[in-house]
Structure 1
Amino acid sequence: MTETWDTIADWYAELLRTGSPLNDFNRDTLLAHLPDELSGHQVLDLGCGEGIITRALAARGATAHGIDPSTRLIEHARTAGTPGPGTVSYAVDDGCVLGTVADHSVDWVTAGLSLNHVPDLDAALTAVRRVLTPRGALVLSVPHPCFEAPHASWTRLADGTHRRVVGDYLAEGFWRSADPRAVRRAGNRHRTLSGYLTALLRHGFTPETVDEPAPTAPVIAHQPRRAGLPPFLLIRARAPHDSPGPAG
């Protein structure tokens, strides 16, 4: 059977709720690029999955709206509750369209490990720019393009240490992992680092921070081979003052 996010949703929700150091690390590093206090802020969580980041936004006081194309993941998100003092709402929606979100209605868009799944990055950024208020910001994380390229693997050296074999870095496009325990068995869209940055610039966004966070002790304990590599690329980019649409 070809896996989809709906078919792996129950497994994925259980993985996150029983403790996933990598996903916890992604949430925490992404949140580090947002204000500690989000009361009065409208935040869209694009590709929210089972709501791990949406709930954290509400815990900071945000009015958080999570969208995801997977009906089953949204069902899991709705059953997880709201930590408050903010609020959460969820909808099944396409990240390339954002049909449930009004123009200029959100101060922040978070996209934690989700833009690497959208089929059309330009369409997604057009939609994000449309829903952001002027000078609102997008905070995104993706698997680090340099080290999570299609078919990247590990090799063991004679001294017992491991090194990452990069894989097909320049081969942008859709690929699927053959590992039955991997999230990317449901598919992933690889883009180069320059692909993400130039797309943001093309749509008028101004990158404010670019981060390659070093893995924490829990991540290293869970996956010791990752000790020397950043698992994620994080970017915070500010929307322009003018009306939405791609830059000319």
Structure 2
Amino acid sequence: MTESWDTIADWYAELVRSGSALHDFSRDSLLGYLPELLRGQRVLDLGCGEGIIARAVAARGATVWGIDPSPRMIEHARSAEKSQPTGAVFSVDDGCTLATVATASVEWVTAGLSLNNVPDLDAALAAVHRVLNPRGALIFTVPHPCFEAPHATWAQAGDGTMRRVVGDYLTEGFWRSSNPNGARRAGNQHRKLSTYITTLMRNGFKIAAVDEPTPDPRVVAAQPQRSGLPPFMLFDVRRA
């Protein structure tokens, strides 16, 4: 069976809620670029999945809408919200159009490990630009384009340490991981770092910050081989 985000949604929700070091690290890295207090602010969480980021942002006082193209993911997000209400609202929508979101209606857009799943980055960023108010900001993480390129693997070096083996960085487009325990078995869009930067600029964004967060102790404890490499890239961009 060819996997999709709907078919892996139950597994993914359980993975995140049982304590995934990488997902917690990605969430906390992104939250570090948002104000501690967001009361009165409106936030759209694009590609919200089961709601890990949307709930955390709502806890800071923001009005939060989470959207995801996977109906099953939205079911999980709504279920979590029902059991522990934060005020976040979740709905099915396409990140390339944001058809359910009004123009200039939010101050912030967050996208945690989701823009690497949209098939048309230009369309998604144009949609984000539309829904942000004139002073709005987009904060997002993606798997590091260099170290998480298609089919990257780990190999043991002569000194016994584990090293990342990377190939196909220049080959952009859709690919599917063969790892039965990885989210990217549902598919992923690989893009070069330069593609992210030029597409942001082309769609009316200016870059405020770029970060390559150092793996925290949770990540290192779970996957010691990652201690020397950033698993994600983070972008803080503003509407130009």
* TM-score (norm: length of structure 2): 0.98
The SS at the match of 1:77 is helix
Partner residue in 1 for 2:19: 19
Partner residue in 1 for 2:117: 117
Determine the C-alpha separation between the residues in 1 that align with 2:158 and 2:119.
41
Determine the C-alpha separation between the residues in 2 that align with 1:81 and 1:173.
34
Partner residue in 2 for 1:151: 151
What letter corresponds to residue 53 of structure 2 in structure 1? Answer: I
Determine the C-alpha separation between the residues in 2 that align with 1:139 and 1:58.
15
Aligned-pair CA distance for 1:87? 2.1
Determine the C-alpha separation between the residues in 2 that align with 1:44 and 1:230.
26
Partner residue in 2 for 1:38: 38
* TM-score (norm: length of structure 1): 0.95
Query: Structure 1, residues 44-77: CA drift from partner, whole Å, max 9, x if none?
Result: 0000000000000100001000000000000000
What letter corresponds to residue 102 of structure 1 in structure 2? Answer: A
Aligned-pair CA distance for 1:203? 1.0
Query: Structure 1, residues 200-236: CA drift from partner, whole Å, max 9, x if none?
Result: 1111101001000000011011011101000100001
The SS at the match of 1:87 is coil
The SS at the match of 2:64 is strand
Q: What is the 5 A alignment of 1:1-248? A: 1-81=1-81, 87-240=87-240
Structure 1 regions of 5+ residues with no counterpart? 241-248
Residues 81 and 87 in structure 2, CA contact (< 8 A), matched pair in contact too: no
Structure 2 regions of 5+ residues with no counterpart? none
Residues 61 and 87 in structure 1, CA contact (< 8 A), matched pair in contact too: no
What letter corresponds to residue 36 of structure 2 in structure 1? Answer: D
Determine the C-alpha separation between the residues in 2 that align with 1:209 and 1:100.
29
Q: Which runs of 4+ in 1 moved over 4 A?
A: none
Aligned-pair CA distance for 1:155? 1.2
Determine the C-alpha separation between the residues in 1 that align with 2:239 and 2:135.
5
- In the alignment of these two chains, the number of paired residues is 239
Say what the alpha-carbon RMSD is for the aligned residues.
1.0
Residues 174 and 190 in structure 1, CA contact (< 8 A), matched pair in contact too: yes
- Report the identity percentage: 67
